[in-house]
Chains A and B, each alone.
Chain A
Amino acid sequence: MAVENFAIEASHIMMFARAIGDANKIYSDAAYAEGTDVGGIIAPPTFAQASAQFDENYRLRPKIGKPWMGSGKEATGIAPKTEGASDDAPVGMGARGLHAEQHFEYHRHMRPGDVLSATVKPGESWEKHSKRAGVLKFSETVTEYRDQTGELVITARSVGVTTEKAVEG
């Protein structure tokens, strides 16, 4: 993901924590958080994923005025326009793509007020054969999230897989 201004905000952290069903007050109650060892609100461990909101070309978000692959009257399957999409958009997460692995290394935990930028490096890619899903194509990306001072905050490694056939269960 090409992300330049991933502004970490308390309300976004609160909504993300609600979505993952995490009632921990460290993500929503500033007064409580100030009284803990951590000393303030932090982001949940998987919050870096929400940087997709700040990737202008993220292909899994409808773009204003552009066709979208999801259904209206019909399930069109119209793919989002790929022209201009970042080459490092998550690989293998379209209709037949799945997320295979995700790894985070925390140099510190994100806090409201941080403004992160991310740089992505392609990693390895490989293939496997599966009776259930046919040919599986795996590819890896490594994303470094740095704060406004250039300090490394999180290193993320993601593996996407595309399958030949839909996989049920």
Chain B
Amino acid sequence: MTLSAANLSVGDTHSEVLVEDLTRTQLVQYAGASGDYNPVHTDEKFVREIAGYPTVFAHGMLTMGMTGALVTNYVGDGTLTKYGVRFVNQVWPGDTLTGTAEVTAIHTDDGQHLVDLKLTTVNQDGTPVLTGTATARVKP
């Protein structure tokens, strides 16, 4: 699916549940796929005794990856030109995350139609864990 500028309005939103009850196993899976083996994400003993956190927590890039799936589900594959985020709160095992993309602008650059999105991912308490923006190519 690729969006069309003609069918988009500023303020349109697209939301998805990104993960329900995030598991420690998924953090292990992400460590293996990404190559980031920082033990704060996978090693309960290390994270409590050395790092001083109550338990392991998600890679920020896992949350960015899951939010990226929401974005590409909305705008279509291979159309992103920019995607940037801030990690504003930690994500813990057991969290359920919901992401929302909101259209903030529809414009053209050098003849190419583009849509700008504002992104917010929140946990089950409604606390933002990630905020960001994305820009994608759209059909006229």
The residues of A with any CB-CB pair to B shorter than 8 Å are 12, 15-16, 18-22, 24, 26, 36-38, 42, 44-46, 49-50, 52-53, 58, 60-62, 69-71, 74-77, 93-96, 98-106, 109, 157, 165-169
B36 with A19: CB separation less than 8 A: no
Q: Which residue in B38, B49, B69 is a CB contact (below 8 Å) of A20?
A: B69
Given contacts A15-B33, A49-B34, A61-B37, whether A102 and B61 have CB atoms under 8 Å apart is yes
The residues of B with any CB-CB pair to A shorter than 8 Å are 2, 18-19, 26, 29-30, 32-40, 42-43, 45-46, 48-54, 59-62, 64-66, 68-69, 71-73, 76-78, 80-87, 89-90, 92, 127
B residues less than 8 Å from A98 (CB atoms): 60, 87, 90
Helix, strand, loop or mixed for chain A's interface?
Answer: loop
User: Which 6 residue pairs spanning A and B have beta carbons closest together?
Assistant: A103-B84, A20-B65, A70-B39, A53-B35, A52-B35, A19-B33
Q: Which residue in A19, A60, A103, A166 is a CB contact (below 8 Å) of B38?
A: A60
- CB-nearest residue of chain A relative to B136? A106
- CB-nearest residue of chain B relative to A13? B33
A46 with B86: CB separation less than 8 A: no
Given contacts A16-B33, A37-B78, whether A70 and B66 have CB atoms under 8 Å apart is no
A residues less than 8 Å from B83 (CB atoms): 45-46, 103-104, 106
Given contacts A100-B86, A102-B61, A106-B82, whether A45 and B33 have CB atoms under 8 Å apart is no
A75 with B2: CB separation less than 8 A: no
Interface centre among B19, B36, B59, B73 (most CB of A within 10 A): B36
Q: Which residue in A21, A37, A61, A69 is a CB contact (below 8 Å) of B46?
A: A69
